Structure 1
């Protein structure tokens, strides 16, 4: 009888756990964020998640060994399909990458658009910056629509980083710098406003240099935090 009782207890616990998971999923969206590399963007969004008190199971930001748009998308697809097979697919998947000098940028953006509008749509979104993520950081200090160009041995991305290093507190900035989100948090509302204004102007003027839609992802993460309260 003892072993039979234990079996029923385990089954009851399992059923109870499953009900809790289903209840959590009914009330909470699950998103996946795959960033270019594993430094600036990775740290920024993880710090944002921590600051908002969001469970890592709800906003998954795994490390990614790929640093090109196509590899980022392939990795995101693999993780999305893996979870979909388990019966609990992500509600949204964000691929965060730069234009910079990547030869697969346009192709990857087009692939994501195809995934969104295909016969079996997948909830993917390209979160891009031109020339690079550092331009999003620059928008915390004020609005700008000045284009970036390659100059000598410096890529367009290098020049955006150089511009950021001229801002207060960023002279020693590099890709491994910690605490960027916390440092810029007081200026975040301004950056969101500036990014939105720039996107509207970019559409009107038909230019995407510079540009970023990182604010979309930030707002979506903030909305998750609000819905959890």
Structure 2
């Protein structure tokens, strides 16, 4: 083998090893709030995320979120997640279907704002609706709005949010699975 071919072979092995060690997550989000949160999380502790937003119509788009995640080209990603609201509905079968097709789910009841609330306090009272979750969040963080969600506003309470979320009953109101995604991303 020539020196040139040997060098090229060694470089190819290094590229493959670098790709194997690179951790990039695809996160398919139902809402703009989720996408903004994850987009701004990218700079946190070397996190590599590609967040996409499935445009939300008047009705929940969780099935579309899961379908988009399932149909995504996954070879470049360490993991693929679907993040959506339950709006109080039973999403057990949808989560099972996603898992069967290799997609992890992180759903929140009633909405993603539940996850954000947990950064700011130990919220265990039923929220009932997304509108009530938003109102509770604005009471704790008056500068917050859906269109201006930034991870930086919640970063100080990230570890608390993870711990609080783990104590909530899965599928209850309130509840969220976002803590599982955060643990995977941050390798905790």
The interval holding the TM-score normalised by the smaller chain is: 0.7 to 0.9
TM-score, normalised relative to structure 1: 0.68
Secondary structure of the residue aligned to 2:139 is coil
Secondary structure of the residue aligned to 1:52 is helix
Q: Is the 8 A contact 1:68 1:102 kept in 2?
A: no
The C-alpha deviation readout for 1:162-220, integer Å capped at 9, x for no partner, is: 111111xx2243220142x101211112111111122xxx26xxx61110121111121
Q: Which runs of 4+ in 1 moved over 4 A?
A: 11-18
Q: Is the 8 A contact 1:49 1:221 kept in 2?
A: no
Change (3 A) 1:14 1:64: farther
Query: What does residue 187 of structure 1 align with?
Result: 157
Query: What does residue 92 of structure 1 align with?
Result: 79
CA displacement at 1:132 relative to structure 2: 0.6
Gaps of 5+ in 1: 1-8, 116-121, 150-155
- Paired with 1:137 and 1:61, the residues of 2 have a C-alpha distance of 17
1:158 lines up with 2:137 in the alignment: no
The C-alpha deviation readout for 1:20-63, integer Å capped at 9, x for no partner, is: 431112323342111113x21111112112122334xxx32234
Q: Is the 8 A contact 1:72 1:95 kept in 2?
A: yes
Change (3 A) 1:25 1:126: same
Q: Is the 8 A contact 2:165 2:175 kept in 1?
A: yes
Change (3 A) 1:13 1:176: farther
- Paired with 1:63 and 1:102, the residues of 2 have a C-alpha distance of 21
Instruction: Report which of the two structures shows the higher radius of gyration computed on alpha carbons.
Output: 1
Gaps of 5+ in 2: none
**Aligned-CA RMSD value:** 2.8
Secondary structure of the residue aligned to 1:143 is coil
- Paired with 2:6 and 2:47, the residues of 1 have a C-alpha distance of 29
Change (3 A) 1:15 1:76: farther
CA displacement at 1:140 relative to structure 2: 1.6
1:108 lines up with 2:98 in the alignment: no
Query: What does residue 52 of structure 2 align with?
Result: 62
Aligned residues between the structures: 182
Secondary structure of the residue aligned to 1:129 is strand
